[in-house]
Amino acid sequence: MADTTVKYFHSEMQGAPTLTGTPGSQIAVLDACLINGFGLVSVTSAVVAGNVATLNVGAGHSFTVGTVALVAGVTSPAELNGEARVTAITANSISFATAGISNQTATGTITAKLAGAGWLKPFNATNTAAYKSADGASSGCYCRVDDTNATMTRVVGYESMSDINTGTGQFPTNNQVAGGYYWQKSSSADTTQVKWLVFADARAFYLVRYPAMSSYPGVAEITYFGDIVPTKSGDAYACGITGNAYNHPGQFQATAAQLMYSAVAAAEFYCARSYSGLGSAVQMGRTFPLMYSDTNVYSGAVPSAMSFPNPADGGVYAVNFNLVEFGSKVYRGVLPGALAIPQANAYTILANKDVIIGQGDLAGRSLRAVTSTGYLSAAMFFDVTGPWR
């Protein structure tokens, strides 16, 4: 059966939580995507035929091809309950592959919704929450989100926590980034809706926002928390967090914090500890492979690089984001599920949420584009098929 570990959501889906310049709205997005799911619909009928289940709903739904549905309430065949990756949709139905279920009409009081990514929220207070992966293979680190401000949140990682205000092994430390990173929500403290996307598996998530900045409304801000894909087997502290080291309402995101930026320089990216397991939080550098000598570039906007698509083969190229411990130059691993585009002007051709079907090492995978336009023009892909690990 298709892997369902990778989840994908965006603000235009039916039932999606609204991100605004108000306290608590970013936590509402994270709760919906990481834990609860959303877009619950009642299923009027469900039929299995030829190893495909088709669920009919009465009045629209949140699903797109490639999203993951959580089906519940099926009495028979009970095997339909659980997660399934959607393979086809109409305005009032969704379909997904089955295996070993005979042709039949399902019974029960059936519902379906977009499945959450499998995270926990072990601690919370008013407009404050701590998130942790529920996957037993994860590092077990926590992401504390303080969403009490209207236009931005403060975020920090911890190796362990005992309550919402108490943790050990903070990353970045207060000496590195006082009070933790800033994640921008909106350029104004009001109820204007802000576009967002979330890409996640059970061990990491990316939060993409378009903070409706008056000068640069097309600029994307992309932040990350979770386990990277490490080079060292059993790397217990390969959990990272990104963000801005300062608040910047109404401005574009700083280069060092922009996830789509590649540079031989320190990035706004900290892992809990070094690969050795010693010491405290360590700052990372972030780069992606290029086909020429320039080193400081944005994904999908590489000056003088090959065109997008490549004229010789029509190729759209995608490469990993590499992570290096900045001080020691130790190659630590790669970002899971995120792919850079080492080509010029991809951002002028790709539209947000465009899908490219992978070939070669990415054969059969759907790569969904995220673009940034305006002052900061760039484009990248997220693998929405998975698995990321």
Q: pLDDT tens, 154-181? A: 999 999 999 999 999 999 999 999 999 9
Number of domains comprising the chain = 2
Q: Is residue 219 part of a domain?
A: yes
If asked whether residues 129 and 101 sit together in one domain, one would say: no
133 belongs to a structural domain = yes
DSSP-derived secondary structure letter, 310: B
Helix (H, G, I), strand (E, B) or coil at 13: coil
Over residues 370-375, mean pLDDT: 90
- Indicate which CATH number applies to the domain containing 50: 2.40.30.180
Whole-prediction pTM: 0.97
Tens of pLDDT, residue by residue over 271-296, are: 999 999 999 999 999 999 987 767 78
State pLDDT tens for residues 43-55. 999 999 999 999 9
- Mark 236-274 as b/e (b = at least 16 C-beta within 10 Å): ebbbbbbbbbeebbebbbeebbbbbbbbeeebbbbbbbb
* 358 lies in the same domain as 256: yes
Residues 64 and 170 in one domain: no
Q: Which two tokens stand for residue 363?
A: 């054969």
Give yes or no: residues 226 and 141 share one domain: yes
Compute the C-alpha angle 169/175/176, nearest 5°: 85
Residue 324 forms part of a structural domain: yes
Residues 135, 248: one domain?
yes
Is 359 in the same domain as 261?
Answer: yes
pLDDT band at 258 (very low <50, low <70, confident <90, very high): confident
Q: What's the average model confidence in pLDDT over 257-270?
A: 90
Task: Give the residues across from 131 on adjacent strands.
Answer: 143
Q: Is the pLDDT of residue 70 over 80?
A: yes
Which of 114, 132, 159 is the last residue in one of the domains? 114
Which residues constitute the domain of residue 331?
119-383
- Tell me, yes or no, whether 136 lies in a domain: yes
For residues 192 and 250, give the distance between their C-alpha atoms in angstroms, rounded to a whole number: 14
- Kindly tell me if the per-residue pLDDT of 254 is higher than 80: no
- 33 lies in a domain? no
Bridge partners for 70 per DSSP: 83, 113
Cα 290 from Cα 243, distance rounded (Å): 24
In a domain, 273, yes or no: yes
Q: Same domain, yes or no, for 84 and 215?
A: no
Residue 252 pLDDT exceeds 70:
no
Q: State how far the alpha carbon of 207 is from the alpha carbons of 93, 199, 241, 242, 325, in Å.
A: 28, 7, 11, 10, 23
